[in-house]
Amino acid sequence: MNYRKLGIFMGKKTIKLVFLLIVVCIASFWIVEQSPIDPVRAYIGEMSIQPEQKAKLEEYWGVNTPAHEKFLNWAENILKGDLGTSLIYRMPVTDVVKERFAASLLLMASSWLLSGVLGFILGIVAGMTNGTLIDKAIKVYCYILLAAPTFWLALIFLLIFAVNLGWFPVGLSVPIGVASEDVTFFDRIHHLILPTITLSLLGVASIAMFTREKLIEVMSSDYVLFAKARGEKGFDLVKRHGIRNVALPAITLQFLGFSELFGGAVLVEQVFSYPGIGQAAVAAGLRSDVPLLLAIVIVSAVFVYSGNLIADIIYEFVDPRIKQQEMKT
């Protein structure tokens, strides 16, 4: 691989990321600043307080400082690595985000893998049996999955597997009433299974449909016709010529789906009360915890960007066809 080219590529991408983050920071700060919701009211809730105390709080939160000054303060602190204090968790935003994101990452990564593998297999099967009943069944299944609201699926799963069958716990990432040292690895897995399956369902549909289309396209190409003429057939043919050609675009697509994965995680975490970053985002939004919300927006932007970056790298450097073209020139 051409390391110099990779270096330049990464450099460009890093500059782009920095620029993007600056714009995202400014834009999201501006949006939140437009909000007519009073932060002091949001902080104290329905309690009634004296006007003097309110004035004190207003000064503490900087309600009356001009927007650009507030932004500069905030930006300066971010550069120092301080994202402020969360209003609802009463601890530094960095700690909240770290803890929550780790939990979410576990959930997202496992369902990402599951949906990728399952979707790819389904897509290959559907593409191989193009036009038959199996293909149609897979297609209908995918259509329904794509149309189904994620949170509704989560509710139905909860209803069937947790409430009626009692196979899985109803929520949370660890059992209630158990000290954190006593939580076994098995407990965590047990709490993770249902959210993971729910979250992976959405991804399965899109990756399966894509793989199916791609495989049908590849199988009607000239080189497959030639391979057939040489006497290759059945699964060997698909394995040698189909899967190899389809795998890379499918993996790329899977990396491009980070944004939807995050959105799905928000909904799934809410239903299963899984203490991840999505749940924190909803809580921050509902209770006007501006520092936490902005931090989550930034983290999610980096998350989505890294997915796109990996997809770009696959396009640019891993695809053997592109490497071959380079050698020619």
Partner 1 sequence: MSTTVVTVNRGLFNGFNLRQKTILLISCLSMLLISIVVSSTFIDDSALSTDFGSKNLAPSLEHPFGTDWMGRDMFIRTLGGLGLSIVIGALASSISTVLSVILGLLSSIGKIEDSIVSWLVDLFLSIPHLLLIILISIGLGGGATGVIIAVALTHWTSLTRVVRAEIKQIKTQEYIHISRNFGRSRWWIAKNHILPHLVPQFVLGTIVMFPHAILHEASVTFLGFGLSPHQPAIGIILSESMKYLSAGYWWLAFFPGLSLLIVILAFDLIGENIGKILDPKRAHE
Does 37 bind partner 1 (CB under 8 A)? Our answer is: yes
Q: Which of 75, 155, 309, 318 binds partner 1 (CB under 8 A)?
A: 155
Amino acid residing at 192:
L
> Which residues inside 116-145 make contact with partner 1, applying CB under 8 A?
143-144
Among 6, 15, 18, 23, binds partner 1 (CB under 8 A): 23
Tokens of 229: 């003429």
User: Is 293 a binder of partner 1 (CB under 8 A)?
Assistant: yes
Q: Which is nearer to partner 1, 32 or 247 (CB)?
A: 32
| Nearer to partner 1 (CB atom), residue 33 or residue 236 | 33
Report the nearest approach of partner 1 to the CB of residue 277 (Å).
10
The reply on whether position 26 binds partner 1 by CB under 8 A is no
* Residue selected from 47, 133, 147, 229 as contacting partner 1 according to rule CB under 8 A: 147
Residue from 112, 210, 262, 274 in contact with partner 1 (CB under 8 A): 262
Quote the least distance from Cβ 191 to partner 1, whole Å. 16
Radius of gyration of the chain (CA): 25
CB contact set of 122 (below 8 Å; sequence gap of 6+): 138, 142, 204, 208, 211, 212
Detail the DSSP E strand segments found in the chain.
none
User: In this structure, what token pair is assigned to residue 82?
Assistant: 């301080």
Binding to partner 1 (CB under 8 A) within 263-282 occurs at 263, 266-267, 270-271, 281-282
Contact 108, 261 (CB under 8 A): yes
Which H or E run includes 18? Answer: helix 3-34
Q: Within 10 A of 89 (CB to CB), how many other CB atoms are there? A: 17
Phi, psi torsion values for 85, nearest 5 degrees = -115, 135
Is 201 a residue that touches partner 1 (CB under 8 A)?
A: no
**Binding status of residue 25 toward partner 1 by CB under 8 A:** no
The answer to whether residue 148 forms part of the interface with partner 1 (CB under 8 A) is yes
User: What are the backbone angles phi and psi of residue 92, rounded to the nearest 5°?
Assistant: -55, 140
Mind giving me the DSSP string for 66-96? -HHHHHHHHHHHHHTT---B-TTT-SBHHHH
Which DSSP symbol is given to 287?
T
Nearer to partner 1, 174 or 293 (CB): 293
Interface residues toward partner 1, by CB under 8 A: 20, 23-24, 27-28, 31-37, 143-144, 146-152, 155-156, 158-159, 163-164, 170, 259-260, 262-263, 266-267, 270-271, 281-282, 285-286, 288, 293, 296-297, 300-301, 304-305
